[in-house]
Amino acid sequence: MTLTSIIFYVFAVLAVVSAGFILFTKNILYAAFALLATFLAVAAMYVFAGADFVAITQIIIYVGGILVLILFGVFLTTKPKGQQFFFTGSFGAKRAWVLTIALAGILIFVFYRINFSELPWISIAHKFNQVNQGTSIQKIGTNLLTTEVMPFEVIAVLLMAALMGAAYIASSVIRKENKK
């Protein structure tokens, strides 16, 4: 076992343990900070898969953007005492456990049954030693402006529309409170 694989497994365990902490904690603020740990560990795992640009994007957008938004949401919607954060009564936590454990069992069973190195494109990549290990920024930049330019533009319009819509929906709260 080399040093890199030990570091990878440390990050993998950190991601799963902090995600489990979100499930079992009663304090929503601790859950938000555990989500931070999960996002950072997942970003580290992207680096091990040769996806440096995706890892940096993950840190910038998830940790710098989405997590700050979630923290603002926590601050704006949680009462100072009596944090209502435990399990729901309407769906039933037990049914959720059963579904979750069944799905995890099926997925892990399937992953051990499938021989991935027999898939044609993976075996070809292994044979010609084309497994991606280096930097990927140049290829991503070229792809974004050639083959993927259409989804790139569509996602830009989607993001703008969603952010404008979010600002409009949230500002209607402020308008209603000003009226009172």
Partner 1 sequence: MIPLQHYLIVGALLFCLGMAIFLSKKNAIAALMGIELMLNAANINLVAFSQYDADKLAGQMFSLFVIVVAAAETAVGLAIIILVYSHYKTANLDEVNNLKEPK
Contacts to partner 1 from residues 2-21, by CB under 8 A = 5, 8-9, 12, 15-16, 19-20
Which residues in 90-109 contact partner 1 (CB under 8 A)? Answer: 90-91, 93, 95-97, 99-101, 103-104, 107-108
Q: Which two tokens stand for residue 126?
A: 């292994």
Nearest distance, CB of residue 122 and partner 1, angstroms = 5
Contacts of 83 (CB under 8 A, 6+ apart): 26, 27, 28
Q: Is 149 a binder of partner 1 (CB under 8 A)?
A: no
Contacts of 8 (CB under 8 A, 6+ apart): 44, 45, 48
Burial degree of 128 (CB within 10 A; 0-12, 13-18, 19+): exposed
Q: Which of 3, 80, 81, 89 binds partner 1 (CB under 8 A)?
A: 89
Q: For residues 124 and 56, give the distance between their C-alpha atoms in angstroms, rounded to a whole number.
A: 29
Contacts of 134 (CB under 8 A, 6+ apart): 50
Q: Is 118 a binder of partner 1 (CB under 8 A)?
A: no
Q: Which of 10, 145, 149, 159 binds partner 1 (CB under 8 A)?
A: 159
Nearest distance, CB of residue 158 and partner 1, angstroms = 6
Nearest distance, CB of residue 81 and partner 1, angstroms = 14
Q: Is 141 a binder of partner 1 (CB under 8 A)?
A: no
- Whether 57 and 140 have beta carbons less than 8 Å apart is answered as no
Q: Which of 30, 139, 145, 153 binds partner 1 (CB under 8 A)?
A: 139
